Structures are given as C-alpha cells and as structure tokens.
Structure 1
Amino acid sequence: MKEYIKTTGIILDNSCVKENTAVITVLTPDSGVISFAKHGYYSKRNIYKSLLQPINLIDIHMEKHKGKFKFIEGSLIESFDNIRKEYNKTAAVLSIFSSLTNSEIYDQKDYNLIYTLIMKFLRSVNEKDPCLLTISIYFFFQLVWCLGISFTFDNSKSEDYRYLDIENGTFYRNAADYESENHIAVSEKLFRVMKNFKNIRFADIDKLDYITVNEYNEFRNMYKRYTAYHFNKAIIIQPSIISEAG
C-alpha cells in the first residue's frame, strides 16, 4: 500500500549513480535519514535540480511504497546563502553531513533531536563567523546526548593528568598516568574547551577559545573510540580541510 508523506528535510547529499540519475539523501525530523533516486535529474526539464542541493532546507512531498521513497514535489524554505558563499563554511557543514550519513542511527526518536541540532548548527554558521573547528567539535559533543550518551566532568581537584573513561563518558583528573583500554588521555586545552561546552549555546559558540587542528584531531580519535564502545559502529568525524582555526 502506498503512503504519502509531507515533511521538511535538510538535503545531506546528492550523488550521481547513472548518467541521468542522482540519489538524494535527506534528513527529516519524523522519518530520519531517507534516500531516493531522482531519475532525469540532469535533464534540462528537471525544475527541481537546484532545490535538491546539499544544505538546502525544503518542504518535501514523497510517496512511500514497500520501504522505498519516491520524490513527488518540493519547495525551498531556506538555502543558507552565507554558508554557500564561503568555501570553509561549506566544507565544514558537508563534513558533518558525511559523518551522519555514514553512521548507524536506529532509533527514530533520535532523528528529531538530531534535526533540531543540525538546524541550530546551520543557523549559527550561517549567521555568525565562529571558529569552524570549535563549532564542529561542539556539534559532535551535543550529538552524543541526542543518541542517549553524554560527556560529564569529575569535579575533583585539579591534577596533572586528564583522561576520558569511555565506559561512562566522564572526564577525570588524576596525578598518575592512567591510560588503558577504556581510558583515553586528553590534553589540557581540549579538556578546558570541552568543559566550557557544558554552559555554552550555539548562539555563544564564538566566545570560546579557538582550537587548532591538533585538538580537532585529538577529539576525532577520542570520539571514534568512545562511540565505538557504545554503538555497533563508530561515528567517524571527517578530517579537517581547514589548516588554521576559524
């Protein structure tokens, strides 16, 4: 039986699979990440080619039959032009989209939270000029909360050694080197920035200290181990193409 769906969606990806066919991947707040083939996509008669571009927020009308989606029509809600105008902003956004499309997220309830999180991220990057490395880390910091786990911080006195316990997501300080299978050493700067994330909003993200590629890569490796422990598949954060903060 056919089902007709009207919803909003953020275009995450658009990839060519045949000479005149593209597969469009969309994040919706109610159906999660869905994909559909748009035949005749590269035809001059295709009036939806510009609409179905990554980063666009659209109204979308689809047909669902036997688990497959078919695009019927759509209209543009927001194109986030200030992101598109800057290469680094576009690259940072598409990098996060790539991480999401390659992750395994099964709970449909999570998608509504993720959709809201992405909208906050897009509007912050579109309206402000934050450090793109910092705001990307902040996005993934918030993402784990959407997926049912989180980062917390031990309030014990300051010690020389900092580490993350991947079993419970808590950052600790310790006087001794405590690296083990479930404990990941964390640099002082990354520890400080992430601790500040607790009381920050997307609207205020530009107030945080800018991080470097070193801290970004440190976070990537830590995040991979942390999410691999809790999920069937690790969430892989893409390498940064930005050489300096901002």
Structure 2
Amino acid sequence: MRNALLASVALAMAPLFVVAAAAPAAAQSKLGIGVVNIDAAIGNSAAAQTASQQMQVTYKAALDSLNSRTTALQTELKQKQDALQAAAKAAGAKPTPAQQQSLQTQYEALQKRGQEAQAELQQLEQPIALARSYVIEQISLKLEDALKSTMTKSKVDLLLKEDSTLAYQPGVDLTNAVITELNTLVPTVGIVPPQGWRPGQQQQAPAAAAPAAGAATPPAATPPAAQPARPQPSGR
C-alpha cells in the first residue's frame, strides 16, 4: 500500500545558463542547488502514511478480495503454464504437426486467460486505486508551496528532480525538508473520494472558478473532465 501512494510531479524551472546570464556581475557568487525526490516526498509524508494505514481498515474487504483473487488466478495460470511446458517437453525438439497445433492452442489459451485475469484484477482494484489517487492529489495540491518554502529556508536558487540528475552529493538532497513542509501544510487527508470524483478535478477547480469572477462577460467553455486514471494491473 505504501509503495502505491507515490506520484510524479513536474517542476518548471529556468535553465541554469539563463540564471547565470541574467546576473553577470554576480558570476563569483555560488548558486544554491537542491535535489528532491517528489515521489518519496509525497509517499513518505505524514498524511500519506496515515492514509495508508487507514485504507487498510476502510478498504479491508476490497483488499482481502483482491489479494484472494490474485492468489487464485496466479495458481490457475501457473498450472496452465506448467501444463504447456510439460506438453512442449513431451513433444521434443521435432513435434509433429498435430503436436504443434496443440501447443499453439494451449499457448493462445494461456495468453487469453492471462489477459482476462488482468482485467478482472483491475476491476477489483479500481476503488482502491481511486482512493490512492484521491490521497495523492490532496497532498500534491500543497506540493508547490512546500517546494517554495523549502527553497527559501534552505537558501536554494534551483531545485531539480532527482530522476533528472546524473549524480549529486547527499548534502543537496532536500527530500526530507520537503516532507517536513508537507507535514505542516497538509497534516491529514481524506481517503474516501466524494461521489463521482475523478483524478484531476481538484486541480481544475481554480481554473473553473476564474470565469465566474467576471459575471458580466460570457462564461468560457467548460474544460473537459479529467479521465479516470487506470490502475496498474497486478503482477502474476
């Protein structure tokens, strides 16, 4: 559950050469650079950790059903795979046309059943995945403020995503500092999405409210609703 509460957030920053060119007189000054792992910052925040524990209780029935069905399907697919391997071994290096046809039929049946199993598990996981997205989105709404506050307190001029860097010294890793800020800005979050909620709706709310400020002007076209995030299929 903890690993599932991770998200990726893009950081828009000016290139380093632009900063240097903008202040040639300060060329001798040292540019403060920090690195942050966004996924870890969100996933290890107090709100995410607490939500993960609460979900184990609130969604226990769904989780138990998902785990039970996953185990059953894995066992079924393993048996089919073992049967196919045994048939292939029995056919030897030069199977007859009939054996080749039989092996092909077994293989196709295994592939089809695997796809059906994935679809079934995705359906079972949907309410859990939606709750995870709801938790992540609530925390992400405060991420920009947390990053800005971290940069100010750490006297950093440039903040980079960890996965965008080749190498760095541990001293420039500000992930824990961002976690501290998130813990202050968003100490808790809800784990049950409102009826009809879909990922992205909370980010769209400020933009949707803007046309309402100018009542005298015709309202802008309503932005399209965000499509539901598809949960990752469980591994076999």
TM-score for both structures, normalised by structure 1: 0.24
Structure with larger Rg: 2
More relative contact order in 1 or in 2 (CA 8 Å, sep 6+)? 2
- Larger helix share, 1 or 2: 2
Query: What is the TM-score with the length of structure 2 in the denominator?
Result: 0.24
Q: Which has the higher strand share?
A: 1
